[in-house]
Structure 1
């Protein structure tokens, strides 16, 4: 506040009549007097003080908005919803997630653990921004992908199982065994069941779970056998579990981060994608 329309005009580099007219127009628009002009200086009325305070809030809000729209600032904050199957989360991503959080502490990561089939559905619906799914997806053409794993399934049995001494087994040899599988919303459930049907038998499923470590414990307790990716099999205790390569047919376990091609990506999502690519540079 200068107390003078002339000084205000000089400060703003406009003419004094321009300042006077702008104030007069504002007073007519608001229906109040903003300045008391009876003294040597133009002083704000009570209404003028209120308008000044509100105007400062508006200016500050605008500055905050423009700062928030700055690409560098936007990359440092936001929210990202990521879907992870339990096995993928256990085997691949704790280190990546930890490093990303250290680098971008202002970005909130909402990690949703579920089966790959449900994760794919949630990405399609927009409930998730990005997620890890089992390839191939139902609608491969609608996604961008970052391949992150290409493994095979192996058979796990308890150490006293009749097959435990074998070097490998075929799927046909598992006919009649009790199977412990992931629940139906896991893509692996359908893939194993389809492979068994292709080998000429319907798997006898005695238990389903959403947790790979619980499946391992049930196998160790002699409730049945299971098929898991090799990266998870390596986490099993050799004192309780024997891991057997599946010789015929080979059942692939290929994982990828996917996100929809036709959907807007926030700066947080773009930074996550860029960050993940540094861990998988050859994709």
Structure 2
């Protein structure tokens, strides 16, 4: 069954005449008659009764007309929806994002994208495990993810967004309070407040301490970044965090070690960019980040100067 045959059938039913229907469709009448006969053969029933000056629907034709009209209506709606997506009037973008990035790096991107494309829905999926984001992007469950670099899975495209400094959060009155910077080795005897094992921020802290020659003496583990901040404020220990994740802390001292950086980037499947809304969101994200050096001006404004 061909789409044009449905259109021809509906036209004949409305006009009640092969001649008038052919004229409205800009077809030769014999061509229209042939197509209607082919449709009747496929349906397995006569759809029209041919009288002297007109044609009328048979009982089978009447039963089929409702469904043919509904099918054509749905196809037209589908075409309009596609046009909306292509024209960025409608659509959906699913973005994986680390919690600190969602709170401090993406709001500006989302605000501008929303202003330009109010009909496109952006779904943010927060997670603290970068490698799971890569798997979700590769599996097609996310269109893209803003995550820690470098990317480990093959077949994905990626680009660095920012290189983010690491800071140490210290309690009020701590000897390091007010220091311009601190070396990681100076923290070897400190008690650490950390995210639980398996979280990206914990992996980063453990890695930095190992590169400085010690293992952190963890006094408190948690699954909430806000609890890390609260425990440090209460004097339970210090915490190593990227600048974005440290936003809002009263006492954050920059770490001087050259390795004390977190590289954030965006990862995506190339085929995902076949969706105009996804491609437009990626363009907006890349436009707001310089991809080299420290935090961009937009990100620095969100995180605050430390």
TM-score computed with the length of structure 2 as normaliser:
0.78
C-alpha displacement of 1:158:
0.6
**4+ residue segments displaced more than 4 Å:** 261-265
Give yes or no for the alignment of 1:79 onto 2:88.
Answer: no
Correspondent of 1:123 among 123, 137, 151: 137
Cα deviation per residue 1:170-222 (whole Å; 9 max; x = unaligned)?
21111121111223333332232122122222111122334333211110011
Q: How does 1:48-63 map to 2 (within 5 A)?
A: 48-63=61-76
TM-score computed with the length of structure 1 as normaliser:
0.84
Correspondent of 1:280 among 283, 286, 289: 289
Give yes or no for the alignment of 1:169 onto 2:182.
Answer: yes
Cα deviation per residue 1:103-127 (whole Å; 9 max; x = unaligned)?
3333332211111343233323433
Give yes or no for the alignment of 1:5 onto 2:18.
Answer: yes
How far, CA to CA, are the matches of 2:195 and 2:131 in structure 1?
A: 12
Correspondent of 1:89 among 102, 111, 136: 102
The SS at the match of 2:206 is helix
Counterpart in the other structure of 2:261 = 252
Counterpart in the other structure of 2:205 = 192
Q: 2:93 touches 2:278 (CA, 8 Å); kept in 1?
A: yes
Correspondent of 2:164 among 126, 135, 151: 151
Give yes or no for the alignment of 1:160 onto 2:160.
Answer: no
List alignment gaps of at least 5 residues for structure 1.
Answer: none
In structure 2, the CA distance between the partners of 1:257 and 1:42, relative to structure 1 (3 Å rule), is: same
List alignment gaps of at least 5 residues for structure 2.
Answer: 1-13, 293-306
How far, CA to CA, are the matches of 2:76 and 2:105 in structure 1?
A: 41
Q: What is the Cα-based RMSD across aligned positions, in Å?
A: 2.8
Q: How many residues align?
A: 278
The SS at the match of 1:111 is strand
Q: 2:101 touches 2:244 (CA, 8 Å); kept in 1?
A: no
C-alpha displacement of 1:57:
1.9
Q: 1:67 touches 1:73 (CA, 8 Å); kept in 2?
A: no
Counterpart in the other structure of 2:191 = 178
* Higher strand proportion: 1
How far, CA to CA, are the matches of 1:277 and 1:166 in structure 2?
A: 34
